Every structure is written in C-alpha cells, then in structure tokens.
C-alpha cells in the first residue's frame, strides 16, 4: 500500500470510526423498556400540568382522577359514590354541607389525611396566587368569588374543619349539584406539607405525594406519564403499574393498538369503524358523551360584536350535515347549547332549526348585507380549531357552508392545550370549542356568564342573562332551578353567542386483556376498577 496516498493514521481512524458508527445504536442509553404487567393507555395528548388546582383539560382530569381522591368520586359505571368522604348531611336551607371523612385516610407518604387538608386545598384553589382558571367551579362556596378576586383573605372562605374527620362547606346560595361539582380535580386535596416545602416543584415525580389509588412515578414530557399503586390507599387495587402515553394522532393510536403496544386507546380513524366492528367486536366501546362541541364568537372583536353577523354565520351551519355526512361516527347533532342528554331539563333549540336550508341561507345573506358585508366586501374570518382529523373535517365543512353565504374563511389549527390557552386569552375571531360536563344545564349556561372568568372564551356579556342565572342560583329546588335556567337559555339563544354543533360519541378500543371497563356518559374509567383478565 503506497504510503504517500494515505497517512498512517488513516486506516485505524477509519476502522475506529466505522466501528463506533455500527455499534452506536447499542451504546446509547435511554428510555425504559415496556414492561409486562404495565397497563399502557393512549391519552388524548400531553398534560400541561398535574396540579389539580391548575388543570384545564379533560386529558388532565383523566390522570388526576387516578392520582387523587376527592370527597365524592365515580364508580365504574360513572355514578357518584362516596370517595374520601364516607357520608354527608345537608342543612335545611341547603347552605351548609357537612362531610364525614373515612377513618385512617393517608397521603401516599404515610402522613394522615385530615379535614384540615381539605380546608387548605379549598383555600389554595381560590387564592389569587394560584391563578386557577377553573376556580369558579367552587364559587358557590361562601366568599369564594371575593377571595379569588383578592378582596378577602383566604381565611374568610366558607370552609372549616371542626375536627380531623369532619369537613364543613358553607355556601352563599343553595347548590343542589354540589356532590357532582366535588368530582372535579378543583376540589381535590393537596399535600400542604409538601407544597410548603417545595413550592411549585411539588408536582415533580421526586417530590410527588397524593391521596389517590396511584402516585406519579415518572413524567417524561411528550413520552409518558407513569403511575404506580399507592400502598397507603384505603382499598387494594388490582393493576399495579400504569403508563399514559400522549397519542394525538388517531391513526398512530390505531396502529399501535393493533400491534398490541397499547391496551386502551381513546379514538381511531372513523373510516375504520366498520372494519373494527367486524374484527374487534368485543374490544370496541361506543358510547355517547355528555358534552357540547360548539363554535364561540369573540364578542369583543368586530364584527363579531354585531349579533346580525353572528346570526348569519349560525344560520349557514347545518348540524345534520356535519354529523350525518361529514363525521359519520355516531355523533348527535346539537340544536341547543345545553345538551339534550341532560335529565329533567327542557332545552331551547336555535330559532331556525327545521327551516328550509335555502331559506336560511337567504336570510343569512340578507343579514350580512345589512351589516355591511357583500360581494365586493366579503366577510373574512379566521376559524381556529384543534388539530386532528375530526377537527379539520368539521371546521373545513363549516368554512364550506360559510362560503355559500359569501364568507371567506381560513383555518388555523393548534394543538389541544395551546388552542385552549389561546382561547382563554381571547386570541381568536371564531373558534371551535368543546366542553364535557355535568348532568345539569347550569354547567353549560354559566359559560356565558360575564363574570365567570376566562372560560367564557368569547367574553359574552348580557346583564339580563347574568341576572336570570343569578336568580336561578338562589333556588334550592332542582325543579324550580331548572325552569329558571330554561328561561335564561330561551332568552340568550337569540343573542347567538355560540353555535352548538354536536355532542361527542366516543369510540374506544379496549384490549381483551383488561376487564372491568364500563361505558358511561362521562367516559371516566379509573384504573382502580380495572384488572387483568387472566
């Protein structure tokens, strides 16, 4: 070999480099291997936080329901049952609720869990420093709005712990649905002893303490949230290890489920529905969800402050086409903002439901014209939605419907948590939004209340509507309350603040290796009710 062509270091260097290259895949250390016996679930996305008082998204609720236990909780069928509280009593006027906690409740680090923890948690929720956007969930507690606005100290909040096992909530007005409201993470207890020591870092896995059936073992951003069974939970659980993976892409979820990498997934491409019914009949879980998917107008931004424009845009949308033709996955069209599924309540459908479509389009065009938008000056809108196949389809179809009345719309998509973060900031024209809720109309109607906070994304404000809601909230009889709420809905529907679109039909796949999975209207499935099939 001629020495002049190559330096004497060349050959060893080349060999070394090639060797390193070939071996490199085996030398790099990283993520934990998937273990046997770990329940692996595809979740709708990456959580923004695991602090129950700062959560916002349903996918976070799913995780928090396993990590914490509130006063009340769900059973496997989605019904309300005692949780950390074993029993409760209400006073005659409905304003004082007394909860008796179970004996010997403990935090996951062995510390006793007492009523004082619930007092601390309630105060922390309303503390302005926590900046909880769902703090309003507990506004019915005495002085809660004032504390949240910083007008009163947290000690003024209407919660107390006469003894370690008794927790008392005082309301400013009667609220018959309190037990349901306590199901949300906003009412979960948080470990005071940990928060005082670590501050905001208390949510890190190393410091994690909670009172639910599971604790946080690890959180690798964008990769997984790992949980393990809490040894101090008051009941034993069957499944010991769980991993929630953020699987946003439903095609990917479907692929990985079929490859047996995931035991449960929350959605799959709707085009596959027929095939799934044939090939995986025992694994398919189709169920209605108590929910409302709607469009919200930013009423603080012109021209959406003009109700004629809102009405025109609403007239052009045909909910039946959206559900029957575009989505074709069992979703139900929604003609009223409060879902039809709510018990004992009379919804008010949009005024134009049932009218001939051509007539509606004509009326819409006339309205736009009167508001100053016509052919030479078309209305231009940016419609925001959550990325994903369903979001894209629905919102594209909506732009197509708007095109029929001469509106030029383009789409802007964002990931779930960023979409809602922007909505809470009021950064939009018209946006798709979704709300999964309780079995009462108030939960939905209060979204249009002007002082509810940033979940009134469109900042809709109508004084008379606010009054009607406040009046309803003072009634303790559920029947009277519902009637008053129905009247408020009938009134506000003419303002076209939102356009109800459809309610969700969940299509899940659950592996046969997992048993105990029951469909329910809330689509809540706490891991502690599940077990391995063998």
Partner 1 sequence: MTRYILKRLLFALVTLFVIITVVFFLLRLAPGGPFDGERRLPPEIEANLKAAYNLDAPLLLQYGRFMVNLAQGDLGPSFTQKDFDVNALIRAGLPVSLMLGLGALVCALLLGLSIGIVAGLKPGGLLDTLLMAVSNLNIAVPTIVAAPLMVLLFSVTLSWFPGGGADTWWHFVLPALALGLPLSAEIARIMRGGIAETSLEPFVKTAKAKGLKSPRIVFLHLLPAASIPLLSFLGPAMAGLLTGSVVAEQIFDLPGIGRYYVQGALNRDYTLVMGVTIVYSFAILSFNLLVDVAYGLIDPRIRVAQT
Partner 2 sequence: MKRSSEQFFKSSPLVIVAAALLLLMITGAVLGPVLSPWDGEAMDFEALEAPPSLSHWFGTDLVGRDLFVRTMQGARVSFLVAFIAVTVSLAIGIPWGAAAGLAGGRVDQLMMRIVDGLYCLPGILIVILLVVLFGRNPYLLFAALGAISWLTIARIVRGQTLRLRNAPFIEAARAMGLSTPYILRKHVIPNVIGPVIVYTTLAIPAVILAESFISFLGLGIAEPQTSWGVLVSDGTAAMESSPWMLLFPALCLGITVWSFNTLGDRLRDHLDRREHIN
Footprint on this chain of partner 2 (rule: CB under 8 A): 249, 251, 269, 271-272, 275, 321, 325-326, 328, 387, 389, 392-393, 396-397, 399-400, 403, 410-411, 413
Among the candidate windows 231-239, 306-314, 375-383, 422-430, which touches partner 1 by CB under 8 A?
422-430
256 contacts which partner out of partner 2, partner 1, none, CB within 5 to 8 A by kind? partner 1
E-only strand ranges, 153-213: 159-163, 166-170
Pairing of strands 284-288, 505-510: antiparallel
Does residue 387 interact with partner 1 by CB under 8 A? yes
- Residue 21 binding partner 1, by CB under 8 A: yes
Handedness of CA 255, 260, 261, 266 (dihedral sign): positive
Q: Does 4 bind partner 1 (CB under 8 A)?
A: yes
CA-based nearest residue to 43, from 252, 235, 354: 252
Size of the site for partner 1 (CB under 8 A): 53
Residue 34 touches which of partner 2, partner 1, none (Cβ within 5-8 Å per kind): partner 1
410 binds, among partner 1, partner 2, none (CB under 5 to 8 A by kind): partner 2
DSSP string of 175-192, one letter each residue: -TTHHHHTTSGGG----H
Q: What is the pairing mode between strands 291-297 and 514-515?
A: unpaired
Binding mask 234-273 for partner 1 (x = CB under 8 A): -----------x-x-x--x--xx-xx-x------------
Q: Segment 175-194, which members bind partner 1 (CB under 8 A)? A: none
Q: How far apart are CA 50 and CA 56, in angstroms?
A: 10
Identify which of residues 7 and 278 has a Cβ nearer to partner 2 in the complex: 278
Q: Are 220 and 17 in contact, with CB atoms under 8 Å apart?
A: no
For 336-367, the three-class secondary structure string (H helix, E strand, C coil) is CCCCCCCCCCCCCCCCCCCCCHHHHHHHHHHH
The answer to whether the Cα torsion of 203, 209, 214, 217 is positive or negative is: positive
Beta carbon nearer to partner 2, 152 or 397:
397
When CB distances are held under 5 to 8 angstroms depending on the partner's kind, the choice from partner 1, partner 2, none that residue 272 binds is partner 2
The pair of structure tokens assigned to 107 is 């935090």
Spell out the residues 6+ positions from residue 325 whose beta carbon is closer than 8 angstroms to its own: none
31 binds, options partner 1, partner 2, none, Cβ within 5 to 8 A by partner type: partner 1
- Near partner 1 by CB under 8 A, which window of 47-55, 304-312, 345-353, 508-516? 47-55
Partner from partner 1, partner 2, none binding residue 197, C-beta < 5-8 Å depending on class: none
User: Closest separation between CB of residue 416 and partner 2, Å?
Assistant: 15
Nearest CA to 41 among 514, 520, 534?
A: 514
The answer to the question of residue 382 lying near partner 1 (CB under 8 A) is no
- Partner whose footprint covers residue 389, from partner 1, partner 2, none (CB < 5 to 8 Å by kind): partner 2
- Render the burial of 444-469: b for 16+ CB within 10 Å, e for the rest: bbbbbbeebbbbbbbbbebeebbebb
Closest CA to 230 of 222, 239, 221: 239
φ, ψ at 370 (rounded to 5°) = -70, -20
Question: Rule CB under 8 A: which residues touch partner 1?
Answer: 1, 4-7, 9-10, 13-14, 17, 21-22, 24-26, 28-34, 48-50, 54, 131, 203-204, 220-223, 245, 247, 249, 252, 255-256, 258-259, 261, 387, 413-415, 417-418, 421, 424-427
């Amino acid at each position: 070999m001629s020495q002049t062509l190559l330096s004497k270091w060349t050959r060893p260097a080349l060999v070394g480099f090639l060797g390193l290259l070939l071996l490199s895949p085996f030398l790099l250390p990283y993520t934990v291997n998937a273990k046997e016996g770990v329940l692996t679930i595809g979740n709708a996305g990456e959580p923004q936080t695991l602090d129950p008082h700062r959560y916002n998204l349903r996918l976070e609720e799913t995780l928090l329901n396993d990590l914490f236990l509130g006063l009340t909780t769900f059973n496997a069928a989605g019904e309300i049952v005692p949780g950390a509280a074993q029993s409760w009593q209400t006073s005659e006027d409905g304003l004082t609720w007394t909860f008796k906690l179970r004996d010997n409740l403990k935090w996951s680090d062995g510390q006793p869990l007492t009523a004082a923890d619930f007092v601390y948690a309630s105060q922390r929720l309303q503390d302005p420093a926590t900046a909880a956007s769902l703090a309003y969930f507990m506004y019915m507690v005495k002085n809660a709005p004032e504390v949240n606005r910083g007008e009163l100290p947290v000690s003024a909040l209407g919660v107390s712990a006469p003894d370690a096992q008794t927790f008392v909530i005082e309301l400013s007005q009667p609220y018959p649905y309190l037990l349901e409201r306590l199901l949300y993470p906003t009412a979960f207890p948080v470990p005071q002893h940990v928060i005082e020591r670590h501050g905001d870092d208390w949510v890190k896995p190393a410091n994690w303490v909670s009172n639910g059936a599971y604790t946080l073992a690890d959180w690798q951003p964008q990769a997984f949230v790992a949980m393990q069974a809490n040894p101090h939970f008051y009941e034993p659980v069957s499944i010991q290890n769980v991993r929630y993976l953020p699987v946003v892409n439903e095609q990917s979820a479907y692929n990985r489920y079929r490859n047996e990498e995931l035991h449960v997934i929350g959605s799959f491409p709707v085009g596959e529905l027929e095939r799934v019914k044939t090939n995986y009949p025992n694994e398919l879980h189709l169920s209605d969800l108590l929910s409302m998917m709607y469009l919200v107008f930013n009423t603080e931004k012109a021209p959406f402050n003009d109700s004629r424009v809102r009405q025109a845009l609403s007239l052009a949308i045909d909910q039946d086409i959206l559900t029957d033709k575009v989505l074709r996955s069992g979703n139900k069209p929604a003609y009223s903002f409060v879902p039809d599924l709510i018990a004992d309540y009379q919804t008010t459908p949009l005024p134009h439901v049932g009218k001939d479509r051509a007539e509606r389009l004509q009326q819409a065009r006339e309205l736009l014209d009167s508001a100053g938008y016509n052919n030479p000056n078309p209305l231009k809108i940016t419609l925001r939605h959550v990325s994903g196949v369903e979001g894209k389809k629905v919102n594209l179809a909506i732009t197509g419907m708007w095109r029929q009345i001469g509106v030029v719309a383009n789409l802007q998509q964002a990931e779930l948590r960023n979409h809602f973060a922007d909505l809470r900031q009021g950064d939009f024209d018209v946006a798709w939004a979704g709300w999964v809720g309780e079995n009462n109309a108030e939960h939905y109607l209060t979204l249009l209340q002007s002082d509810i906070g940033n979940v009134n994304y469109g900042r809709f404000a109508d004084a008379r509507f606010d009054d009607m809601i406040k009046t309803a909230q003072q009634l303790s009889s559920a029947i009277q309350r519902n009637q008053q709420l129905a009247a408020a809905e009938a009134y506000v529907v003419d303002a076209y603040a939102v356009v109800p679109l459809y309610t969700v039909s969940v299509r899940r796949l659950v592996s046969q290796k997992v048993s105990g999975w029951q469909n329910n209207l809330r689509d809540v499935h706490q891991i502690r009710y599940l077990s391995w099939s063998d």
